Amino acid sequence: MSGAIGGISDTLLYLSGVSVSFDGFRALNNLSLVLAPGEMRAVIGPNGAGKTTMMDVITGKTRPDAGDVIFRADTDLTRLDEPAIAALGIGRKFQKPTVFEPHTVHDNLLLALAGNRAPHHALFARETRAERARIDELLAIIRLAEHRYRRAGDLSHGQKQWLEIGMLLAQEPDLLLIDEPVAGMTDAETAETARLLREINRTKSVVVVEHDMDFVRALDVKVTVLHEGSVLSEGSIEHVSADPRVIEVYLGR
Amino acid sequence: MTRATVASFLVPVLIIGGAALLALGNAALPPTAALHVSVFVISLVGKYLCYAMLALALDLVWGYAGILSLGHAAFFALGGYAMGMYLMREIGTRGVYGNATLPDFMVFLNWTELPWYWYGFNHFAFAALMALVVPALLALVFGYLAFRSRVSGVYLSIITQALTFALLLAFFRNNMGFGGNNGLTDFKDIIGFDLHADATRNALLLATAIALAGAFLLARYVVASRLGKILIAVRDTESRTRFLGYRPESYKLFVFVLSAIIAGIGGALYVPQVGIINPGEFSPANSIEAVIWVAVGGRGTLVGAILGAILVNFGKTYFTSALPDVWLYALGFLFILTTLFLPHGLVRVFSRARPSALPEPSPAKEHPA
């Protein structure tokens, strides 16, 4: 079966026996997954395997029918809503790049910066030197420094993906959930994104959902293969590509 | 100064300056002078400016937070009723029945005591406060329930429409104690000044202009603040704001309540100038007309809302007297033509601002140098 599920003391994220049904369709079926602190994990699987539903469950968008979702050994995520989970340090990137299109790149990052989220604070907030310095850093990391005052809506598809990753970083999360970051990217942008994610992984844990096998190979991390809502195989990319069950799911039909 | 800053100072100057000129034209010029402004015009413009406050309030929630309220005139009408109740009590013994405490309609209904919710309305300050508090409370309760349950889009619009319709039916009932079908009217004076005197009319016009200018500056501050940027983010990409840790419902609630207060002030200033408030002000058609003013002027621009309210109502005044049968068709056509050819409203014709309902990008503007 899947990789050893040890104690939850040395885990960042622990999913156990998670099931979700939508009108009788089991999107997640007894799914279990353990992520160590500092780990980067690639999650692959055919369409409908439950990859996005898994992210929905972790980020509080969807309540599971059964199972545990534990963050940092002691926080039950199934009891919290999206803003509370975001505040705990879990950031999420959507499949389709989702940025604030009418705002500049600068303002997108400004709104994403960790800080007080209350309306009365935002009403009187003035941009501080520290905030500006942090935005400078983020712009360098996501390579958008010269696009600072462009509307986010005017950026290319790949640049929007990077901006959204930058917004995630601005939240200062411990765990980043990234849904199909290279969909629609050129080869050069894909390679750059792999580099960017490895750089991010130096300080943060990352879960990447991706279809693009070359990209997953380039990440060179442990891979979890989902199928029909549960884990089909787990291990290195060589291990899972040699697994007969994985081959059957991907090529068998 | 950026163009946006210039505009935000120019608009209040134009509003107050324009109103002052009209008042001067009424007070300083003899009725025989060519440029004399009749008191009819003074009250008409005062009415337009009240509508402009309703439009401004609606633009705050619709243009910046994406809440298409089809019941916003309810807050306007509630503010109007609060002021109307004061004006009713102010009549005192000068009413038809000469009752010092009870308004005429209560005497007519054989009531012997003033209902508790009419207490305090003999004081102007209390009534003025209620003109803000009552719309704000309704917006707070309604908004809390709707936004917390994540009701949005068309569903929210329909509920706001139902809200104003429910109030319409309630205020029609005689035993609600607000004058039923006839509403509140026959007002005599306001804080001791005769409502039929030209000077009072001029003062009311000026007060309305100042209130509108103040509301505009307040709204400008809000939409240009970081909170305003978050509102726009919520409007366009609500789920993204939630995953960033914001609670969109509290942002919507803030702007919804602020908007209700602005609409309430508009209604409170409206009633002494038109001399009547009745349940018809809650009619859903009124709220929908306000949406048209905002759309015609330019949604998400604040200036556009004010401009739209004034121009459309000017058109309404003209058409309903010159060609009364044509007005509704003209209004309908105006809405269709605007949607087709000026999707960003009239202000877009005069300004090259981005079509994103936004204050201009602020390169380092709010950064301390």
* Chain A CB within 8 Å of residue B2 CB: no
pLDDT tier for residue B363 given thresholds of 50, 70 and 90: very low
Residue to substitute from B239, B244, B367, interface A, most A β-carbons within 10 A: B244
- pLDDT computed for residue A209 by the predictor: 93
pTM (2 decimals)?
0.92
Q: Per-residue pLDDT for A14 more than 60?
A: yes
In chain A, what residues touch B227 (CB-CB under 8 Å)?
Answer: 119, 122-123, 125
Residue with tokens 């705002």: A103
Structure tokens at B328: 């509704």
Structure tokens at B110: 């054989």
Least Cα distance to A85 among A59, A63, A51, A107 occurs for: A59
- pLDDT computed for residue A95 by the predictor: 86
**Polymer length of chain A:** 253
User: Rounded to whole angstroms, how far apart are CA atoms A101 and B148?
Assistant: 25
- pLDDT computed for residue B327 by the predictor: 85
User: Rounded to whole angstroms, how far apart are CA atoms A135 and A111?
Assistant: 10
- pLDDT computed for residue A6 by the predictor: 46
CB contact under 8 A, B245 and A87: yes
Q: End-to-end CA distance of chain B, in Å?
A: 16
Query: What's the mean pLDDT in A176-203?
Result: 91
CA–CA–CA angle B54, B266, B274 (5° rounding): 110
In chain A, what residues touch B237 (CB-CB under 8 Å)?
Answer: 98-101
Rounded to the nearest 10 degrees, the angle between the axes of helix B226-236 and helix B248-274 is 100
pLDDT tier for residue A213 given thresholds of 50, 70 and 90: confident
Q: End-to-end CA distance of chain A, in Å?
A: 23
pLDDT tier for residue A111 given thresholds of 50, 70 and 90: very high
Q: Per-residue pLDDT for B364 more than 50?
A: no
Query: What's the mean pLDDT in B150-159?
Result: 94
Q: CB of A59 within 8 A of CB of A82?
A: yes
CB contact under 8 A, A125 and B225: yes
Locate the DSSP E strands across chain B. Answer: 184-185, 189-190, 193-194, 276-277
Query: What's the mean pLDDT in B86-113?
Result: 93
Helix (H) or strand (E) holding A19: strand A13-22
Neighbours of A82 (CB within 10 A): 22
- pLDDT computed for residue B158 by the predictor: 97
Q: List, as ranges, residues 216-275 from B with C-beta within 8 Å of A.
A: 222, 225-227, 229-230, 232-233, 236-237, 239-247, 250-251, 254
Q: Per-residue pLDDT for B259 more than 90?
A: yes
Domain ranges of chain B: 3-348
pLDDT tier for residue A250 given thresholds of 50, 70 and 90: confident
What is the DSSP pairing of strand A25-35 with strand A13-22?
Answer: antiparallel
Residue with tokens 């309902």: B357
φ and ψ at residue B268, rounded to 5 degrees: -65, -35
Per DSSP, A63 falls in state: -
* Chain A CB within 8 Å of residue B140 CB: no
Structure tokens at A88: 């705990």
What is the DSSP pairing of strand A205-209 with strand A75-76?
Answer: unpaired
pLDDT tier for residue A4 given thresholds of 50, 70 and 90: very low
In chain B, what residues touch A163 (CB-CB under 8 Å)?
Answer: none
- pLDDT computed for residue B5 by the predictor: 76
Q: Per-residue pLDDT for A35 more than 80?
A: yes
Structure tokens at B123: 């004081």
In chain A, what residues touch B223 (CB-CB under 8 Å)?
Answer: none
Q: CB of B264 within 8 A of CB of B322?
A: no
Q: Per-residue pLDDT for A105 more than 80?
A: yes
User: Rounded to whole angstroms, how far apart are CA atoms A108 and B249?
Assistant: 20
CB contact under 8 A, A123 and B230: no
**Polymer length of chain B:** 369
ipTM of the complex: 0.90
- pLDDT computed for residue B366 by the predictor: 35
User: Rounded to whole angstroms, how far apart are CA atoms A110 and A126?
Assistant: 11
In chain B, what residues touch A87 (CB-CB under 8 Å)?
Answer: 245
In chain B, what residues touch A107 (CB-CB under 8 Å)?
Answer: 229, 361
- pLDDT computed for residue A170 by the predictor: 96
User: To the nearest whole percent, how much of chain B has pLDDT over 70?
Assistant: 94
pLDDT 10s digits, A116-156: 999 999 999 999 999 999 999 999 999 999 999 999 999 99
